[in-house]
Amino acid sequence: MPTKTSKPIPTRKGSKPIGASRTPTRRLPGWVWVAVGAGIALLVILAVVALVVNRPRTTTSPGSTVAERVGQPVDRRILGRPDAPVTVVAYEDFQCPHCQDFNQALEGTIRELVAAGTIRFEFKPRFVIGPESVTAMMAAECAADQGRFWEYHDALFAALERNPRANQISDFEKLAVEVGLDSATFNRCLESQQHKEALLREDIQARDDGINATPTVFINGQRYQGRFDPAEFRAAVEQALQEAGS
């Protein structure tokens, strides 16, 4: 009888019989690993840059007052020598976006000119946004009672730029802690509205003087009409300085 031959067991398409030798794994070229490493490093750098760029802006250096940095006298809302040849007066509202732009663009320039003894800078209130503008200014005056108007000024503009709705009494009290004020004294001052009547009288006087927008800036009594540009502002101060010396 003819011998039966056993048929080979069929295998699935694409599968390999157990025990069959596998194709050796191919290693990636070295340049691929270099590229991957460079890509990861780039992502880390971009993440760090994003954190720095998006970090809340503040102009107050830890452990340093504005008076120490400019090296000139500070009298509540006035920065600089009483005998400075040029006086700059700015009518502002803490809630006013244009005032925030003004400070962001020119604050450094103004304080450099104060430090050089060239200008004396005075902040005056003009309330154009709403009732919260009055409360914000009352908070700044309570900070001035503790000799920290300018530190609170910087922190308040930065806080309201980040969140325009951070304009409640609790927000202002929290900011006082961050600035390093005596909380109990500050809270009593703000909640009692200690400075409200005087500030409203100032605002009425400013309105009667024709100040109907913020910021309104005067350089030696002349209204500054220029842009919020450091070079342009310096040129206006220089012109006032020359006129004062003539």
In one letter, which amino acid is 207?
Answer: R
In this prediction, residue 40 carries a pLDDT of 74
SS3 17: coil
Extract the tokens encoding 161: 């730029």
SS3 78: strand
Question: What is the architecture, at CATH level 2, of domain 66-245?
Answer: 3-Layer(aba) Sandwich (3.40)
Walking along the chain (246 residues) 10 residues at a time, the average pLDDT comes out as 44 35 54 65 53 38 74 94 96 96 96 96 96 97 97 96 93 96 97 97 96 96 95 96 83
Q: pLDDT of 123-148, one tens digit each?
A: 999 999 999 999 999 999 999 999 99
Nearest to 181 by CA among 156, 135, 145: 145
In this prediction, residue 59 carries a pLDDT of 38
In this prediction, residue 77 carries a pLDDT of 97
As a whole number of angstroms, the distance between CA 38 and CA 52 comes to: 21
As a whole number of angstroms, the distance between CA 31 and CA 35 comes to: 6
In this prediction, residue 50 carries a pLDDT of 46
Nearest to 234 by CA among 119, 73, 79, 122: 119
Which residue's entry shows tokens 């600035």? 179
Rg (CA), the chain: 32
Query: Whole-structure pTM over 0.85, yes or no?
Result: no
In this prediction, residue 86 carries a pLDDT of 97
